[in-house]
Structure 1
Amino acid sequence: MTTTEAFLFVIGGVLVVAMTARVAPRIRVAGPLLLVLIGIVASYLPFLPDITVNPEWILVGVLPPLLYSAAVSLPAVEFRRDLLPIAGLAVVLVFVSSFVLGTFFYVAIPDLGYPLALALGAILSPTDAVATAVAKRLGVSRRVVTMLEGESLLNDASALVILNSAVAAFVLIASTGQPPPLIDAVGGFFWAVFIAIVIGAIVGYANLRLRSWLRSSAATTAAGFIVPFVAYLPTEELGGSGLVAAVVAGIVTGQGAARWFTPEQRMSDHVTWRTVELILEGGVFLIMGLEMSEIVTGTANGIHGIAHGLWIAGAAFGILLAVRAGYVTLLVWGQGRRLHPRRAERLNAISDRIDEIEAGGPQQLGDRGRRITEAGWNRRLAIFRRRISRAMSDLNYYRTAPLGWKHGTIIVWSGMRGVVTLAAAQTLPADAPSRHFLIFVAFTVALTSLMLQGFTLPALVRLLRVSNDDDENLVRSEQQRIVREMHQAALLAAEDGSLTRRDGSSFAPEFTERVGPLFLQAGEAEDDEARDILELRLALIRVRRERLIELSGGGQFGSAALRRALAELDASQLNVELRLESAD
C-alpha cells in the first residue's frame, strides 16, 4: 500500500466511523458492532487490499489513550465503593479464566505446549469497554455500569502480564529447555502493578500542575495528548504495566480537574477525549473486521482447518461464560453480605461513642490529653466523623443499588471480548506453532462474543426489566442537597465579607449587603455597578465551587450529582466571564 493509498484509507475510515456514530443509535445497534460488520463485508471486496496492522500500534498507540480517556471520566466515588469486586473481576477472574482456558487448549491442541496454551487463555480473558457503552445506552443500573467499566479498565493489564510471562516462558523453554521459576512470574506481576501505580500517580499529578500553569485551553489540550504515553512508556521500560499507569494517570487527572483546571479547560478536555475515543475505538473495530478475510484464508491453508478452529473457539467461548457465571454468582452473594443490619448498628454505635468522647474533651485522656491542643482535638474528631459519614453513605449506596441475580446476569452477559484480544493475539511469537490458527481462534471468540452478546444484550435487559429509575431519583435528590450546601456557603461568604474580585480586591460592605448574593442581572444597575455585580457573581461561583470540592471528598454524594453540579457552575462562570469581556 502506497502512502497516498494509506492516507485515503485513513480518511475513508474516519468518515465511516463518523457516519456510523450517527446511524448506529437510529437503528439501535452499538457503533462498534456495526463497524465490525462493515469491516467484514469490506474485507471481501476485490478492490480493497488486504489490511494488516502491526499490533504494537494498537498496544502502544491506541490502548493507552483509550484507557486514559475512560479513566478520566470514571465515577471515582462509585469506583472506590466497589473497588473490591472490581479488582476481583479484573484480576482474580482473569487469572482463573486464563488458567482454565490454558488447560483446555493444552489438551485440545496437543502440539501447542502449556506456555502458549496459557498465552492464548490470557488473550481471551479480558473484556472490552464496548459492553459499558451498550449498558449505558440501555439504562442499566449505574452500579453495574461502573463495575463493567472498572473491570474493562484494569483487566487488560492483568491479561497482558500473564501473556508476557507465558510468551517469555515459551521462549526460555525453546532456548534452554527449562521453564522459569514460578516465584519470578508472581513477583513480576506485583512489581508490574506497583511501579505502574507509582508512575501513573506521579504523571497524573504533574499533568495537573503543568496544565493549570499553562492555563490556555489550546495549550493544555496539546499537552494532554501526551499524558497517556508519558505514563505508559517509562513504566514499560521498568518492567511495569503501562496500561495500568495510563489508567492511574487518568484517574488522578479526572479527580483533580475540578480543583486545578478552568471551566474552559474542562469542557475542552471533555470534547477532545470523546473525539479521540470515538476515532480510536471505532478504527480498531473496523480494522478487526477488515483483517478477518486474511485470517480465515491463513487458517484454511493450515494443518488444523476452519472446522477445527470453530470447534475450539466455540468450546472456549462456552468455558469463558461458565467461569464468569460461577465467579459472578459468588460476587453477588458476597455483596449481599455487605447489607447485614449489624453493620449499620456498629456504625451508629461508633458515631454515638464519638459524641461521648467529644463531650468529655481531651482531658479524659489524662497526661496525653493535656498535650493535645483544642485545634488538634477538633481535627481528629472531624476525621473520625468524616470516616463514619463516608461509611454510612456507602452503606446507603449499597441499599439503594443492591446487586441481585438480574444484575449478575447482565454482568455475565456483558463480558464481551474486543480490542485487547485482537491486538494481543497478533503479538504471539512468529515461530509459535499454528500461529494463524491461534489468531483465528482468538478472533472467532471475540467476534462471537461481540455479535452474540452485543446484539442480544438489549433484549436481555428488556426481559429482566432492569432500569436505572432509582438511580436517577437518587441523583436528583443528591443534586438538590448539593445545591443547598453551595447556596449556604455562598450566603455565609457574603455575610462575613470574604468575597473578593478576580484581582483580589474586596467589595464594599454596603454594596454586598445592598445587592445580595443571588442571581442578579447586570441590567438592573448602572454600567459601573453592573461590573461589580458580575464580579460578585464570579466570587460567589468560586465559593460554591470550593464547597463542591469539599463535598466531593467526603464520599457522601455520587459522582453523577457532583459532575452535574460542577457542569452548571462551569456554564455559569463562562457566561459571566463572557459578559465581562463584552463590557471591556
Structure 2
Amino acid sequence: MELINQFVLAGAALLLLAILASALSYRTGMPLLLVFLAVGMLAGEDGPGGIVFNDTGIAYSIGSVALAVILLGGGLNTRAESFRAGLRPAAGLATLGVLITCVITGLFAAWVLDFGLLQGMLVGAVASSTDAAAVFALLHAKGLTLKQRVSATLEIESGSNDPMAVILTIVLLDLITAGQGLPGWDTLSLFALQMGMGLVAGIGGGRLLVWLTHRLRMEPGMYPMLILAGGLTLYGLTTVLGGSGYLAIYLAGVVIGNRAPRESRNILQVHGGLSWLAQIGMFLMLGLLATPSRLLDDAPAALAIALVLMFVARPLAVWLCLLPFRFPPREQIFIAWVGLRGAVPIILALFPLLAGVPEAHTVLDVAFFVVLISLTLQGWSIPYLARRLRLEVPPAPEADERFDLGAGANGHTLFGYRLAPQTPVLDRSAADLALPGTARLITVLRNGAALSPEAAGNLATGDVVYVLARQDDSAALGELLVSATAPAYLEKRQFYGDFTVGSEADMASVAELYGLPLPEGAARMTLADFLADRLHGVPVAGDRFRLGNIEFVVREVEDERITRVGLRIPTHLQ
C-alpha cells in the first residue's frame, strides 16, 4: 500500500510540475511538448529526480493509448470543410510522402551510422511520419489561425500518416529478423488492409457512437465517457483485427465532431482536457525513458540525420506530393517546415527493442535526438514563419459561453457574449439591436441583474448578452458582439482591405471601375470564376491575387465557391 501511495505522489507531483512549467511556453515561446519532455528528462535517471524507468513494454503500451486519445480529440475538432480543402494533398503526404521521407532519410542514416541498408531504412521509417500530438498542440496552443488549406493539410496528414510509418517499420523489422532482402507485394496488401479496415471502422464506428448518444438517456457527464470508451474500443478492435487503430479512432472523432451528438459541447470540452492530459503524460513518460548521457554518444550522427530530414527529405517529399495541387511556394515551405516529430518516432523506435534488433538502442537514441531537434528548432519558429509567409488569417470571433439546447431546439444554440471595450454594439439600444438571420437577444446581465432588452437601454462595457441563434449566424454575431483582439496586421480592414465586392460581379465592370488591366478571356467571367481560375484548387479565405495596383483577397467561401472578396492596395505588404 505504501508503494502505491509513493507512485501516486511521484506521478501527481510530476504532472503538477509539468503544468506549472508550461507557463514557460507562454513567456518564452518554448513549445509546450518540449517543456513536458524536458521535465520528464530532468526527473529521469540522469536528472535531479533520479527516477529509473527503462521498461519499453510499458512505455509502448502507455504511449499507444495516449496517442489514440490525442487522435480522438484532434478528430473531434476537425471540421468537415477542412477535408474538402486538404484531404487529397494530405493523403499524398500521408502515404507517398512518408515513403519518400523514409527512403531519403534511411539512405543517409545507413551511410552516417555505418548500418546495413535495411537497418538504415529502419531509422528512416521510424522518423518518417509527422506527429499528431505535436502538430495539434503547436498549431492550436500558439493561437495561430492559418489559412484553411494549410491547417487542414497538416492536421489530416498528421492524423493519418501513422499507418504508413507503422507498416514500413514492421516490414523492415520482419526482413531484418528473418535475414531477407527487399520487401515484396505482400507489403502493399498489408498497407491496403490497414488503411481499409481503419477507414471502415472509423466511419462506421463514429456513426454508431453518434447514434448511441441520441438513443441513450444518461447523466451529461457520461456522454464524453461514452465517446472515449467507444473510441478506444474501436482502436483496440481494429488493431487486433489487423487494421490501423490510429486511423480508425481519428476518423471516428471526425465523424462524431461533425454530426452533432448529444452534449456535443460537453464532449468537446472534456476531450480537450483529456487530450492535454494524454500529451503531458506521454511526453513525461518518454522523457523518463530517455538517457541524456547516452544520447551524447550518437549526437553528431543523429544531428546530421535530423538536419537531412528537415532540410532535404521532408521538403522534397512535400514538393513532389503537392506538385499536382499547385500549392503556392510559401505554403509548401510552411508545410515542409511543420513536419514536426514527436511521440510517434519514439514509440516506433521501441519496436526494434521489443524485437531484439542489435542496433535498437542506436535507433532509439537517434529518434529521441530527432524529436528534440524538431520540437526545438521547428516548434519554436512556427509562429514567426507563419507571419513572415503571410499564412495567418484573422481569427473568427467566438462567444464567451455557448449552451447547446438539444434535439428539440431545431438547431438553435444560446450564445453568451461579455461586451469588452471597443465592441461595435456599445452605446446602442439593446431593444433595437439588428442581429443577423433569425438571431434574437434574450437577456442582458448587468451588475448581477437579468434585464429584458427593453429594460436594458443602451449596451455598456461589462454587460453580458445572451442571444438565441443558429450556428450559421455565429460568425456574423461575433462581428457585432466581440471586440477585435487580433494583432494589427490581422485587423480585418488591413488584411482584407477597405472595400468588399460581391463575387458575382463581372470582371469587365470591376476592371473598368478600378482601372485594372483586363486579362484575356476574363471579360465574360464573374469575379469568383476569375479568382478560382487564377488561384487553382479549392479556394480558401486569405487567398490573394494581385491585378494591376489592386490585390483581391478571398474573404468568404461557401461550398468551395467564393462568396465575398476584399479589395486592398498592397502598398505596405512585406
TM range (shorter): 0.5 to 0.7
For 2:128, the aligned partner's letter is S
List per-residue Cα deviations over 1:90-109 (Å, max 9, x = no partner).
11110111122223333444
**Which of 412, 416, 440 matches 2:340?**
416
Native 8 Å contact 2:439 2:473 kept in 1: no
For 1:187, the aligned partner's letter is S
Q: Given the superposition, is the C-alpha separation of residues 28 and 206 from structure 1 closer, same or farther in structure 2, using an over 3 Å criterion?
A: same
What is the CA distance between 1:244 and its match in structure 2? 0.8
* Aligned counterparts of 2:15 and 2:8: Cα–Cα separation in 1: 11
Question: Aligned residue for 2:328?
Answer: 404
Question: Aligned residue for 2:456?
Answer: none
For 2:369, the aligned partner's letter is T
**Aligned ranges for residues 241-390 of structure 1 at < 5 Å?**
241-256=244-259, 258=260, 260-261=261-262, 265-292=263-290, 294=291, 296-297=293-294, 306=297, 308-331=298-321, 333-336=323-326
Native 8 Å contact 2:106 2:120 kept in 1: yes
* Aligned counterparts of 1:105 and 1:517: Cα–Cα separation in 2: 60
- 1:441 has 2:366 as partner: yes
**Which of 140, 151, 162 matches 1:156?**
162
| TM-score, scaled to structure 1 | 0.64
What is the CA distance between 1:192 and its match in structure 2? 0.8
What is the CA distance between 1:26 and its match in structure 2? 3.6
**Aligned ranges for residues 183-582 of structure 1 at < 5 Å?**
183-216=185-218, 217-256=220-259, 258=260, 260-261=261-262, 265-292=263-290, 294=291, 296-297=293-294, 306=297, 308-331=298-321, 333-336=323-326, 403-430=327-354, 431-469=356-394, 472=396, 518-519=440-441, 544=470
What is the CA distance between 1:444 and its match in structure 2? 0.7
For 1:457, the aligned partner's letter is I
What is the CA distance between 1:557 and its match in structure 2? 10
For 2:71, the aligned partner's letter is L
What is the CA distance between 1:57 and its match in structure 2? 1.9
For 1:440, the aligned partner's letter is D
What is the CA distance between 1:458 and its match in structure 2? 3.1
Structure 1 spans left out of the alignment, 5+ residues: 301-305, 337-402, 477-487, 491-515, 526-539, 549-554, 563-584
* Aligned counterparts of 1:33 and 1:89: Cα–Cα separation in 2: 25
What is the CA distance between 1:561 and its match in structure 2? 9.7
Question: Aligned residue for 2:549?
Answer: none
* Aligned counterparts of 2:15 and 2:391: Cα–Cα separation in 1: 35
For 2:380, the aligned partner's letter is F
Native 8 Å contact 1:221 1:268 kept in 2: yes
List per-residue Cα deviations over 1:155-211 (Å, max 9, x = no partner).
1221112111222222332xxxx4586111111101111011112222211211112
Q: Percent identity?
A: 24
**Which of 147, 162, 176 matches 2:153?**
147
- 1:169 has 2:172 as partner: no
- 1:95 has 2:102 as partner: no
* Aligned counterparts of 1:330 and 1:295: Cα–Cα separation in 2: 36
Question: Aligned residue for 2:124?
Answer: 121
Counterpart of 2:233 in 1: which secondary structure? helix
List per-residue Cα deviations over 1:486-527 (Å, max 9, x = no partner).
xx999xxxxxxxxxxxxxxxxxxxxxxxxx9955679989xx
Greater strand percent: which structure? 2
Instruction: Indicate the structure whose relative CO is greater, using CA pairs within 8 Å and at least 6 residues apart.
Output: 1
Q: Given the superposition, is the C-alpha separation of residues 523 and 96 from structure 1 closer, same or farther in structure 2, using an over 3 Å criterion?
A: closer
For 2:195, the aligned partner's letter is V
**Which of 104, 108, 125 matches 1:104?**
108
Counterpart of 1:226 in 2: which secondary structure? helix
List per-residue Cα deviations over 1:329-361 (Å, max 9, x = no partner).
34555333xxxxxxxxxxxxxxxxxxxxxxxxx
Counterpart of 2:122 in 1: which secondary structure? helix
What is the CA distance between 1:463 and its match in structure 2? 3.7
Native 8 Å contact 1:161 1:241 kept in 2: no
* Aligned counterparts of 2:340 and 2:136: Cα–Cα separation in 1: 10
Counterpart of 2:351 in 1: which secondary structure? coil
Counterpart of 2:130 in 1: which secondary structure? coil
* Aligned counterparts of 1:546 and 1:27: Cα–Cα separation in 2: 38
Greater helix percent: which structure? 1
* Aligned counterparts of 2:183 and 2:321: Cα–Cα separation in 1: 32
Counterpart of 1:182 in 2: which secondary structure? coil
What is the CA distance between 1:268 and its match in structure 2? 1.3
What is the CA distance between 1:547 and its match in structure 2? 11
What is the CA distance between 1:316 and its match in structure 2? 4.4
Q: Given the superposition, is the C-alpha separation of residues 233 and 46 from structure 1 closer, same or farther in structure 2, using an over 3 Å criterion?
A: same
Q: Given the superposition, is the C-alpha separation of residues 432 and 333 from structure 1 closer, same or farther in structure 2, using an over 3 Å criterion?
A: closer
What is the CA distance between 1:126 and its match in structure 2? 1.1
- 1:68 has 2:84 as partner: no
Native 8 Å contact 2:18 2:280 kept in 1: yes
What is the CA distance between 1:426 and its match in structure 2? 1.4
- 1:81 has 2:85 as partner: yes
For 1:166, the aligned partner's letter is L
Question: Aligned residue for 1:504?
Answer: none
What is the CA distance between 1:11 and its match in structure 2? 0.5
Native 8 Å contact 1:310 1:441 kept in 2: no
Native 8 Å contact 1:13 1:283 kept in 2: no
Question: Aligned residue for 2:16?
Answer: 15
What is the CA distance between 1:556 and its match in structure 2? 11
Question: Aligned residue for 1:567?
Answer: none
For 1:77, the aligned partner's letter is E
Q: Given the superposition, is the C-alpha separation of residues 282 and 290 from structure 1 closer, same or farther in structure 2, using an over 3 Å criterion?
A: same
What is the CA distance between 1:232 and its match in structure 2? 1.2
For 1:8, the aligned partner's letter is L
Native 8 Å contact 1:211 1:220 kept in 2: yes
Native 8 Å contact 1:172 1:179 kept in 2: no
For 2:29, the aligned partner's letter is R
Counterpart of 1:426 in 2: which secondary structure? helix
Q: Given the superposition, is the C-alpha separation of residues 104 and 22 from structure 1 closer, same or farther in structure 2, using an over 3 Å criterion?
A: closer
* Aligned counterparts of 1:520 and 1:109: Cα–Cα separation in 2: 68
List per-residue Cα deviations over 1:376-419 (Å, max 9, x = no partner).
xxxxxxxxxxxxxxxxxxxxxxxxxxx43222222121112101
Native 8 Å contact 1:125 1:320 kept in 2: no
| TM-score, scaled to structure 2 | 0.65
Larger mean Cα displacement after TM superposition, 163-172 or 150-159:
163-172
What is the CA distance between 1:71 and its match in structure 2? 0.7
Q: Given the superposition, is the C-alpha separation of residues 159 and 519 from structure 1 closer, same or farther in structure 2, using an over 3 Å criterion?
A: same
Native 8 Å contact 1:65 1:229 kept in 2: yes
Native 8 Å contact 2:31 2:376 kept in 1: no
* Aligned counterparts of 1:561 and 1:11: Cα–Cα separation in 2: 46
List per-residue Cα deviations over 1:220-248 (Å, max 9, x = no partner).
22212212221111211221111111112
* Aligned counterparts of 1:556 and 1:489: Cα–Cα separation in 2: 28
List per-residue Cα deviations over 1:295-348 (Å, max 9, x = no partner).
633x67xxxxx1x55224423431443122123334555333xxxxxxxxxxxx
For 2:379, the aligned partner's letter is G
Q: Given the superposition, is the C-alpha separation of residues 172 and 556 from structure 1 closer, same or farther in structure 2, using an over 3 Å criterion?
A: same
Counterpart of 1:223 in 2: which secondary structure? helix
* Aligned counterparts of 2:452 and 2:145: Cα–Cα separation in 1: 44
What is the CA distance between 1:275 and its match in structure 2? 0.7
Larger radius of gyration: 1
* Aligned counterparts of 2:316 and 2:78: Cα–Cα separation in 1: 27
List per-residue Cα deviations over 1:64-91 (Å, max 9, x = no partner).
1111110111122122222111111111
